[in-house]
C-alpha cells in the first residue's frame, strides 16, 4: 500500500458509505482531516472516497465489519501503515437495525445489531485508545433511542442506550489520558434510509419537532465539528441531542 504524504491529522469514520457517516467524512475532509472511510460495503465506501477526492482532499478506504475483531485490528494496522502515525479522531457511526416486535425479532438479528452497534463501538474505542495521543477525541453516534424506547426497534434501542453508557464509562477511563469521549444523538434526519420508512417522513416528523423541520446529515456533522473544536476541550462524557427539540417533549394531555 502506498503511503500518503499528507500531514493532516487522521480521522476514522465508520459506516461512512452513506447517509450521516458519508457527510461527516466529507465535512472532516473539508476541515483538512485525512479521513479513513470505513464501511462494510466497498462500493459505498469508494463513492464516499470519490466525493472527497473530487473536491481536492485526501482520504483512504478500508472496508470491514466493525463487529468483527479481526477486521477492526486490520483497519488500525492499515491506518498506521498508510500514515506513519496514529489517528486522532474516531467517529463510531456504523449501525444496523431490525424493524420487529419482541415476539418477531430473531435472536440472530438481535445479535447482529448488538454486535455491530454496541460491540463494534466498544472494539473500535478499545483499539483507538491504545495509541491515541493527548487531545484525541471519540464521538459515538447515538439516537433518540438513547433516552426513549422506540416501538418495534428492540435491538436498536437497546444498542443505542448501551452506547450512551459506554460513552460515559469511556470518558471516565480515558480522560486521564487526555482523550475525550462524547455522543451525538440525532433526531429525525433526512437520509436515503429514513426516506424509505414512509412517503411522508418529512411531513410527519416536522410536525412533531419543535423547530418544525427534520434535520439533515449536515446538522449532525456541524455538531461533530463543534465537539472536536478546541473550544470544546472541557466537554466529555456528554450526549448532545441534535433533534430540533424532538425528544425534549413529554407526553402531555393537552397541546402547548
Positions marked catalytic: 156
Tell me the C-alpha distance between 208 and 88, whole Å: 37
- For residues 17 and 39, the answer to whether their CB atoms sit within 8 Å is yes
Residue spans of beta strands (DSSP E) within 176-221: 180-186
Tell me the C-alpha distance between 207 and 212, whole Å: 6
Cell numbers placing 68: 468483527
- For residues 67 and 44, the answer to whether their CB atoms sit within 8 Å is no
- Among 168, 28, 2, which Cα is nearest to 82's? 2
Beta bridge partners of 39: 63
Number of CB atoms found within 10 A of residue 56's CB: 8
Tell me the C-alpha distance between 55 and 203, whole Å: 33
Amino acid at each position: 500500500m502506498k503511503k500518503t504524504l499528507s500531514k493532516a491529522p487522521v480521522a476514522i469514520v465508520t459506516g461512512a458509505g452513506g447517509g450521516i457517516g458519508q457527510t461527516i467524512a466529507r465535512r472532516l475532509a473539508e476541515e483538512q482531516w485525512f479521513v479513513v472511510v470505513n464501511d462494510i460495503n466497498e462500493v459505498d465506501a469508494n463513492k464516499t472516497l470519490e466525493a472527497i477526492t473530487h473536491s481536492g482532499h485526501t482520504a483512504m478506504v478500508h472496508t470491514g465489519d466493525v463487529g468483527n475483531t479481526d477486521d477492526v485490528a486490520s483497519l488500525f494496522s492499515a491506518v498506521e501503515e498508510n500514515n506513519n502515525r496514529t489517528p486522532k479522531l474516531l467517529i463510531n457511526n456504523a449501525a444496523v437495525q431490525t424493524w420487529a416486535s419482541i415476539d418477531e425479532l430473531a435472536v440472530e438479528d438481535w445479535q447482529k445489531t448488538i454486535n455491530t452497534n454496541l460491540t463494534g463501538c466498544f472494539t473500535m474505542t478499545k483499539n483507538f485508545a491504545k495509541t491515541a495521543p493527548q487531545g484525541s477525541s471519540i464521538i459515538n453516534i447515538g439516537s433518540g433511542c438513547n433516552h426513549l424506547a422506540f416501538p418495534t426497534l428492540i435491538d436498536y434501542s437497546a444498542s443505542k442506550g448501551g452506547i450512551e453508557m459506554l460513552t460515559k464509562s469511556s470518558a471516565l477511563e480515558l480522560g486521564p489520558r487526555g482523550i475525550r469521549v462524547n455522543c451525538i444523538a440525532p433526531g429525525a434526519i433526512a437520509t436515503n434510509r429514513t426516506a424509505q420508512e414512509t412517503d411522508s417522513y418529512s411531513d410527519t416528523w416536522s410536525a412533531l419537532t419543535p423547530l418544525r423541520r427534520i434535520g439533515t446529515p449536515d446538522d449532525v456533522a456541524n455538531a461533530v465539528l463543534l465537539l472536536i473544536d478546541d473550544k470544546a476541550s472541557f466537554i466529555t462524557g456528554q450526549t448532545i441531542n441534535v433533534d430540533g427539540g424532538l425528544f425534549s417533549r413529554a407526553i402531555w394531555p393537552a397541546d402547548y
